Each structure stands twice: as C-alpha cells, then as structure tokens.
Amino acid sequence: MYKSIIRISALVSLGFFLAACTKEVPKELINNQKPQQNQNQQQQQPVDKNQMPDDSIHRNLGNNNSQTDTKGDTKADEMMKAADDAEAKYIKSKSDADKNDYILKQMGAANYLMFEANLSPKKKYKPALARYNKVLEIDPKNAEAMENKKQIEDIYKSMGMPIPN
C-alpha cells in the first residue's frame, strides 16, 4: 500500500512537471504546414557571406531585424558629429584638454555605435572600429578601445571577412 502511494505521488509530480514544461505548438506546425509569410516579407534570399552576423546582443531594442534596418539613428549621427567636431578642435589646438575631450567623444560615439545604435551591423561596426582606431592613435594604451576593437575584429574574422581599415 505504501509503495503504491509513493508511485501515485511520483506520477502526479511527474504530470505536474510535464505540464509546466510544455509549450503551445503553433497550429501551422501541428498541421504540418509551413508558416505563411506576411505580404511584406519577401521570399527568403540566399545567404550573403558579406553579411554581418546578427547583433541582437548589442541592441537595447526589442524585435530588430537587421535586414530591414535602413533608417538612420539620429543619436548616433549626433554623437559622431560631436566626435568629429572634437577631433577638428584637437587638431587645431593640440591642447591636453581638447585631447581628453576628443578621446571622450570618440569613445562615446564608438561605444554607442557598437552597443546601442539602432543600425544594421554593416552600418555600425565599421565606423565604430574606425573611431576606436582614432582613439588608439592618440592613446595607444586605452584598454577599453583595445578590447572593443578586438571584439569587432573577431566578428569580422568569424565571418571570414577582411577587417576594414
């Protein structure tokens, strides 16, 4: 009697466990049908080896599709302009204060491009890499710039693509 109670409670526990782990299967898959595409979606195109990898880990936004991401990011544009202005100011003055401002703004723009910009990988990694390189030209020991530059270069290498200059 005691063993049958244990078996019954084990089966009940197993039932609750399985019920908690199940997931609703879409109707299309139950009927062995392919999911239908929206009219806005195009036929799946062949994979382009020059396409950058999905960078969803670098996005702070929800459902981003880098294939259809053609709009610009105004904050990225503003930050890059501020960094370019700081660069021009530093080139003219060569002062330490302008150098520090230049580094700060280049790093801000590069980091925003790399981690937060609502842009496709093709539109964000190359300019971010160029900005990290600019920082490293005037501050070769900048650890953050070195680390982020290496991360971008590793992305290009993993795709079998040449690293942009």
Q: What Rg do the C-alpha atoms of the chain give, in angstroms?
A: 25
Distance (Å, rounded) from C-alpha 158 to C-alpha 125? 14
* CATH code of the domain containing 144: 1.25.40
* pLDDT tens column, 87-130: 999 999 999 999 999 999 999 999 999 999 988 888 899 999 99
Task: Evaluate whether residue 77 is within a structural domain.
Answer: yes
Task: Evaluate whether residue 36 is within a structural domain.
Answer: no
* Amino acid identity at 70: T
Task: Evaluate whether residue 32 is within a structural domain.
Answer: no
Task: Evaluate whether residue 4 is within a structural domain.
Answer: no
Task: Evaluate whether residue 30 is within a structural domain.
Answer: no
Task: Evaluate whether residue 163 is within a structural domain.
Answer: no
| Structural domain of 149 | 69-158
* pLDDT tens column, 77-99: 999 999 999 999 999 999 999 99
Task: Evaluate whether residue 61 is within a structural domain.
Answer: no
pTM above 0.75, yes or no: no
The total number of structural domains in the chain stands at 1
Task: Evaluate whether residue 44 is within a structural domain.
Answer: no
Report CA torsion sign: 88, 102, 132, 83. negative
* ∠ Cα 95 103 71 (to 5°): 135
pLDDT at residue 42, rounded to an integer: 44
